[in-house]
A and B are shown apart, each in its own frame.
Chain A
Amino acid sequence: MGRGALVANYCHLVIITICALAPAARAGDDGTVSGTIRILTPGPDGKPGPKEDRSKVVVYITGFTQPAPEEMPKMWQKGKSFSPDVLPIVAGQNVEFPNEDKIIHNVFSTSRARAFDLGKYRAPNSKTIDFPKTGVVDVYCDIHEQMVATILVLPNRAFAVTGADGKFTIKGVPAGTHKVFAWHRRGEPASAEVTVAPGKEATVELEVTETKLDDKHTDKYGNPYKGSRGGY
């Protein structure tokens, strides 16, 4: 990961952390936030244009905290990739990392929000790790450079991941005015304010601009990947 991306992730971590300090949500008085995300990506001429695939944008709402749900999400290692490769969770949740490949993988992160190294293991083994703090956690494999994923550790359950059409729906949002963010791995987060009334649906449109063309990153020691370690 480049220095620019690191700074962007750090800023994003600060935003999420500050938002996590907000008071806990009260039960009831809930509404829905829905909308559409547009992604702009640089074209051959360098000018940004709309991207057809608008999936894997995490839309989340801040301003209140909620306890982590009981269920434990899984991020599989399968076909030399992480699945899902974008995973929003609530601070305090554990995530399981099963390896379903017959080859060895190493799952690690050097992100400030949660640095870890699960070591090398193969199918059918699995490891679990907790994410106590809010922030952006970039997850990689130290053996296969192409394996890239991100876990967004959020202060509450008010989040959704867009499909290819860019649409999202977030239910159970407490009434009031909140800030809603759209996060994309290759872009800067976009935000807007939304006012939610009890039992009503508020809509919001956001636009994310891709600023990175790839997911280039270093290995867990901060060195470039060696070609021979790119897979076997």
Chain B
Amino acid sequence: VVLAALLCAARAEAGRRPFIWVWDTEIVPEGEIELEQWLWVRGSAPVGPVSAAYWVWWGPVIGLNSNLELAVPFQVVSNKNGTALESFEADLRWRIFPREKTGGFQPLVRVAWHQQAQPVGPPRLDVNVVASYGSPDELHVTVDLGGRLGLPMTSGSAPYTAPLLATYAAGVAYPFFEGELRVAAEVFGEIVINPGTPIADSHHFFGLDVAWTKGRLWLTAGTLIGLTPLFPRTPVVMPRLIWAVAL
């Protein structure tokens, strides 16, 4: 009933994020809160230890001011071994220019503290530098370069090699129906750059997305398709559904 009421809202608002993996530069307005949820699957790969896993990401996203938004989600993962609370995050996104300045070149920096919950493990710091060009109601291009660094100083006295992962992502989105619907294509990759790690551990994907916005609701659905024939440790598919409701 709630969903039906939301869908009956007459006015379209600008969509939040047209991509399932590329971070974008739109942020929640100051003083507003959105409840955001992701459902996604990391498919299996023909080589390596990666088996299929099913993830839920859920959390509030809070507009702190015209430049900052904060997400405090938790993640639950389910695989052949069971279902567990996987992690908590504090995810801060700093849009360099205020959100009132729309269109043109828009840079954003994302810093996220990721605390593994079960089994308890060392935290991880994610950093992304994102740049987009174009407003949501026109052709919109986004590039997102990131890194994920394990934090060994908090791992206790046990021997620990900090994993270091570089990520790249880029996407292009185009609006239809006055921006209510956006169709997007994106690429995403993650490269393990620890010394001695074979480059074959890298994962590379391309994908297609559809994003839809109506009233208080926005959702984005799509799938990444792995370049598995070239990189056998890359999962074959990684579909993801993201939706959010403005409170």
Contacts and interface: CB of A to CB of B under 8 A. Distances in A.
Interface of A: 104, 106, 110, 112, 115-121, 127-130, 218, 220-223
A221 B66 contact: no
Given A119-B66, A222-B10, A128 B31 contact: no
Nearest to B179: A115
Interface string B59-103: 000010110000000000000000000000000000000111110
B246 A221 contact: yes
Contacts of B31: 104, 106, 119-121
Given A119-B32, A220-B13, A221-B216, A127 B102 contact: no
B14 interface: yes
Interface in B156-183: 178
Contacts of B12: 222
Nearest to A114: B102
Contacts, number: 55
A117 B29 CA distance: 7
Residue among B66, B100, B215 with most chain A CB within 10 A? B100
Interface string B116-144: 00000000000000000000000000000
Contacts of A221: 9, 11, 13, 215-216, 246
A221 B12 CA distance: 7
A227 to B, nearest CB: 17
A129 B29 CA distance: 14
A120 B29 contact: yes
Nearest to B27: A119
Contacts of A106: 29, 31
A223 B13 CA distance: 12
The 7 closest A-B pairs by CB, nearest first: A222-B11, A120-B31, A119-B30, A119-B29, A222-B10, A221-B215, A222-B9
Given A115-B14, A118-B100, A127-B66, 15 more contacts: A106-B31, A110-B13, A116-B100, A117-B29, A118-B30, A118-B66, A119-B29, A119-B30, A120-B30, A128-B100, A218-B10, A221-B13, A222-B9, A222-B10, A222-B11
A121 to B, nearest CB: 6
28 contacts: A106-B31, A110-B13, A112-B178, A115-B13, A115-B14, A116-B100, A117-B13, A117-B29, A118-B30, A119-B30, A119-B31, A119-B32, A119-B63, A119-B99, A120-B31, A120-B32, A121-B31, A128-B100, A129-B100, A130-B100, A130-B101, A218-B10, A218-B11, A220-B11, A220-B13, A221-B9, A221-B11, A222-B10
A222 B215 contact: yes
Interface of B: 9-14, 29-32, 63, 65-66, 98-102, 178, 215-216, 246
Contacts of B102: 116
B100 A223 contact: no
Contacts of B13: 110, 115, 117, 220-221
Nearest to B32: A119
B211 to A, nearest CB: 17
A223 B14 contact: no
A129 B9 CA distance: 26
Contacts of A223: 9-10, 215
Contacts of A220: 11, 13
Contacts of B99: 119
Contacts of A116: 100, 102
Contacts of A118: 29-30, 66, 100
Contacts of A121: 30-31
B246 to A, nearest CB: 7
A197 to B, nearest CB: 42
Residue among A115, A117, A119, A127 with most chain B CB within 10 A? A119
A117 B31 CA distance: 11
A116 B103 CA distance: 12
A175 to B, nearest CB: 37
Contacts of A222: 9-12, 215
A106 B66 CA distance: 13
